[in-house]
Structures are given as C-alpha cells and as structure tokens.
Amino acid sequence: MGDEQLKHITVTAKNFAQLDLQPGQRLALRYVVMQRLHVDGSGVLYLATERATGEEVHVHVLYPKG
C-alpha cells in the first residue's frame, strides 16, 4: 500500500513527553506505533497500526497548545 493511501489521524499532545513515542507503544488506546517518520514545525508524524483492523495509518501528533 502506498503512503498516499494511508488514513491520516491527527492528535494533539497534552505535553512534550507525548511527542517521543517508541515502537510498540500504544497511542490513544487504538493505535500501536511502528516508527517515527518525520518531525516538522507542527509536530511528529508516526507510522502506526490500528489495533482493531491491523490497518497501517499515519498519526500526526501535534505539539501541545499553549
């Protein structure tokens, strides 16, 4: 499956520690992080797997507000 076909999920971190996710770590009880793909001015992009379906997704974790 090409990257352009992956579902894109956006979440906002509550603190900066939530931006440093490791492979195997769960996110929002729904996703399992596979790898960090990119860091940009708005947050960190991860490749993850949706636990219920096994589908690969992009999860963009935005920097905390404020």
Q: pTM higher than 0.95, yes or no?
A: no
pLDDT in tens, 21-43: 999 999 989 999 999 999 999 99
| Residue-averaged pLDDT of the chain | 92
Of 15, 64, 60, 25, the residue nearest 39 (C-alpha): 60
Cβ contact 62:10 at 8 Å: yes
Phi/psi of residue 61, nearest 5 degrees: -95, 110
Of 3, 10, 20, the residue nearest 56 (C-alpha): 3
